Structure 1
Amino acid sequence: MFTLGGTYYLDEDKTWTASALCRYETNSQRTKVAIRPGDDFHIEWGIGKSLTDSLIVGASGYCHWQVTNGSGAAVAYDPNIHDQFFSAGPEVQCCFQPVRLCVQVRYQFEVATRDRPEGQSLVFSFVKILDPCKRQQRCKRFYCR
């Protein structure tokens, strides 16, 4: 797997952010079945606005494309049909400064799927900041008061 990502601040005060994470996955032969799935390319993305020091709202999503054919003696489907899907939805992050804990809720729904089921996801993430002041100066406005 090969990965590349980054975040770009859209304004001088760094209240607007856009980020993306790109990933290329190489698949190998499956064990016990003579199938090698095709390679995949993914993009996870997000755009957000800090409304306060503790509240960020935005949108996020992901895209997926199978970029090479599947192969192998046990392939029982058309290897030229490549799966793909796209998703998007709202995201909210709230940070609780006294306990240095951030909670994130994200809802995403998939659209334009091909060769796979279409679905929805609801994700809850919890992040506990253990020692923020020694690591990054740019985080001091929130974490190191």
Structure 2
Amino acid sequence: MTRDTFERESCKGKFRPWLIRSGLSAAVALLGCMSEAAYADEDGVSYWLPGRFSSLAAVPGVPGWSMAEVYYHTTVSAFGATAAAREVRVGRFPATVNVNLDLHLNAQADLLLLNPTYTFATPVLGGQLALGIIGVFGRSSADLSGTLTTAIGPFGTTRTGSIGDSITSVGDLYPQATLKWNAGVHNFMTYVTGDIPVGAYSPTRLANLGIGHGAIDGGGGYTYFNPQTGHEFSAVAGLTYNFKNPDTQYQNGIDFHVDWGASQFLSKQVFVGLVGYAYQQITDDFGQHPVLGGFRSRVLGVGPQVGYLFPVGDMQGYLNLKAYGEFAAENRPAGWNTWLTFSISPMAPASTVAPTRRMVTK
């Protein structure tokens, strides 16, 4: 479809922005999960999973219940201090041990995320309130190979070889509340979320599906969405405060993160674009092994996305596929990850379709 055709369809009312909002509202509100095999602070593992928000994140949805399901896959690796951090925890080396870091960590996770969300019709502070929670089930695996040399005074020992671990179970629970406002093509949001540490976790395991501690995260975002041209851009930023891990007495520092997405609608049903994220730990960890220092984590990611909207009976269906390649990682496993999202939500009534003005082109 050409841009002129797209504009004509928009002006005729066939391109329905509220239908798009209803289809994507459940998906963009989706919480990520924290697989210790995948992601950083203690062991290079953070509560926040970069990529949780992307296109149309701040656009209000349609009141009622919605459900989003996500298949998430990640493959990552790490060397040196990031790999040794996992071995230090599993081996429980005392704080006086000197460690020579010559290790390689490989990890994978295949996870299913279920996210029921209820969007309220009654405005709150002039905006639209939505409450949801994520449940996680899946498999996490990790293997560590290389040489680790330790010394206490005149005594030393060297470990060479490899160890592996995997787990299939449930992860932590992640509640989230969002409040969104619309002003024409401009959309704004604020959110708060956190970690309820009830998932499978053991400090002696190499791979886990829980992170072993609570966390709270909050922030805000903006979406520019012009239904006449099909242009869209979104960005969401936030901060994470991590509580102490009671099993290891380790406390992650404060994390800052930005997720973004840019897309172009090719028709009223299909869009393509780019997604990306930036993650930076801004304060040091507490309780870490001295060889690790502040162990501040960082990673950047970018990749493509494609989305498709379609009716499911009297509901609105939505499919999205996005992928990220990571780079500039520090004190954190890095690699690539993919997200396949299917969501179903209420269909917007015809009376809510915003009128559009015919564009005049020369």
TM class by shorter chain equals 0.7 to 0.9
Q: Which runs of 4+ in 1 moved over 6 A?
A: none
Partner in structure 2 of residue 89 of structure 1: 303
CA distance in 2 between partners of 1:117 and 1:92 (Å): 26
Greater radius of gyration (CA): 2
Q: Is contact 1:5-1:21 (8 Å) kept?
A: yes
Larger relative CO (CA 8 A, sep 6+): 1 or 2?
2
8 A Cα contact 1:71 1:79, kept in partner = no
1:30-89 deviations in Å (ceiling 9; x for gaps): 1111211111011110000001000010000111000001112xx114333411001000
Structure 1 residues 41 and 51, CA gap change in structure 2 (3 angstroms): same
1:130 Cα shift? 2.1
Structure 2 residue matching 1:59: 3-state secondary structure: strand
The aligned counterpart of 1:52 is 267
- What TM-score comes out, normalization by structure 1 length? 0.84
For residues 123 and 36 of structure 1, the distance between their equivalents in structure 2, rounded to whole angstroms, comes to 29
- Note closer, same or farther for the CA distance 1:15–1:92 as it changes in structure 2 (3 Å cut): same
Aligned-pair CA distance for 1:134? 8.5
> Structure 1 residues 98, 13: CA separation in 2 closer, same or farther (over 3 Å shift)?
same
Tell me, what secondary structure is at the counterpart of 1:104? strand
Task: Please give the alpha-carbon distance, in whole angstroms, between the structure 2 residues aligned to 1:134 and 1:35.
Answer: 54
For residue 52 of structure 1, what is the amino acid of its counterpart? S
% identity of equivalent residues: 22
User: Structure 2: which 5+ runs fail to align?
Assistant: 1-216, 357-362
Q: CA RMSD in A?
A: 2.3
Distance in structure 2 (CA, Å) of the matches to 1:37 and 1:135: 49
Matching residue of 1:127: 343
Which structure 1 segments of 5+ residues have no match?
none
TM-score normalised over the length of structure 2: 0.35
Given that 1:40 and 1:64 are in contact with CA atoms closer than 8 Å, whether structure 2 keeps it comes out as: yes
